[in-house]
Structure 1
């Protein structure tokens, strides 16, 4: 059975990467989620996609240059302005406390070598504290992040995010000892999917929002789909 992950919670149904978005994902019956992480200036794991605040909050500034106490006061519903209530930027620790997901894909964006090591260390400490080591996979398209994971936290499951085929994603995943391949749906051919699975990879395909595409990728044998509309995905694949 093809599993379902809510993309940034339930991005198509509520403001992305906010508590209400992850709560909506759970309400839809989807117990797996994908989210994005950056590190605040004081070393807290912040759940936000962009390195800057503009798109989701309308504010200026970089996440990395502000402390967590400031960031968590900002309303992050600008990408979904019709939402009736303010939606603060959450800390990963808040989501771990309040959302009982079976599995989390924690995507880390590109970072310098030093910053990659810091964020990987922070993820390791937090997942250990919440006893979630076996329920997370840290994913990234950044070689620096994957290298830091392999070097500093080899016990954490890791995954390659592959958007383009200019480098063979299966070779890159093998080079960094990945367990998961987060594959852009445009790259998901039956041949590549089968080859990846034979390599021992869980293949999670993103971002899949159309019912016909959901069914096609499930028929191909994709291990999981990442979608903005987890409720729709449940209705399409599991509630028939």
Structure 2
């Protein structure tokens, strides 16, 4: 059975990476999600995709230049699907407290060695505090982040995000001891999928929004797919 992850919540229906978006994902009966993390200036884990605030809030500057107490007041619905109410940037802790997901893919973008270590340490502490170690996989395309995970939080499951095939993603995943491969769907051939699963990897493909593509990838045997439309995915794959 192919599992479904809501991409940044339900990105196609509600502004991405907001509490409302994750709640919509849950309303569709989809109990797995993928989200993105950046540290605030005072070291809190904030759920936002870009390192800068411009695209989703219209504000200037980087996430890391603002304290969490201010970031949670910024309305992040710019450029997303229509939302009547403001949708502030959430802390990861708020989602842990309010959204009962069965599994979380927490993606950390590329970072310097120091920032990667700080981010990973913050994730490990928050995950432990909420008792979610068996429900979390920290993913990244960054070697620096994957190294920090091996070093600072070896007990947490880690995953490689692979967008391009210029390096063999299976070799990279193996090198960093990953249990999950988040694969751009365009790289998902039946051959690569079979090889990855033989290697013991859970293969999660993204971003899959077309019903025909959902069915095709499910027929290939992908372990999970990440979609902007978790309700559509449930309707498409629900009878399998």
For 2:111 and 2:50, how far apart are their aligned partners in 1? 12
For 1:147 and 1:11, how far apart are their aligned partners in 2? 29
Following superposition, the deviation at residue 152 of structure 1 comes to 1.2
Following superposition, the deviation at residue 82 of structure 1 comes to 2.4
2:71 paired residue number: 71
Following superposition, the deviation at residue 80 of structure 1 comes to 2.1
1:15 paired residue number: 15
For 1:106 and 1:239, how far apart are their aligned partners in 2? 28
Following superposition, the deviation at residue 30 of structure 1 comes to 0.2
Following superposition, the deviation at residue 151 of structure 1 comes to 1.1
1:228 paired residue number: 228
Q: Would you say how many aligned residue pairs link Structure 1 and Structure 2?
A: 240
Task: Provide the secondary structure at the position in 2 that maps to 1:74.
Answer: coil
For structure 2, the residue ranges without an aligned partner over 5 or more in a row are none
2:127 paired residue number: 127
Q: Deviations over 1:102-155 (max 9, x none)?
A: 000000000000000000000000000000010000000000000000111110
Following superposition, the deviation at residue 48 of structure 1 comes to 0.1
Does the 8 Å CA contact 2:39/2:119 hold for their aligned counterparts?
yes
Task: Provide the secondary structure at the position in 2 that maps to 1:115.
Answer: helix
For 1:38 and 1:129, how far apart are their aligned partners in 2? 19
Structure 1 position 96 matched with structure 2 position 111: no
Following superposition, the deviation at residue 65 of structure 1 comes to 1.0
* TM-score when normalising by structure 2: 0.99
The runs of at least 4 aligned residues of structure 1 exceeding 4 Å deviation read: none
1:149 paired residue number: 149
Q: Structure 2 matches for 1:42-81, cutoff 5 A?
A: 42-80=42-80
For 2:25 and 2:50, how far apart are their aligned partners in 1? 21
For 1:107 and 1:100, how far apart are their aligned partners in 2? 18
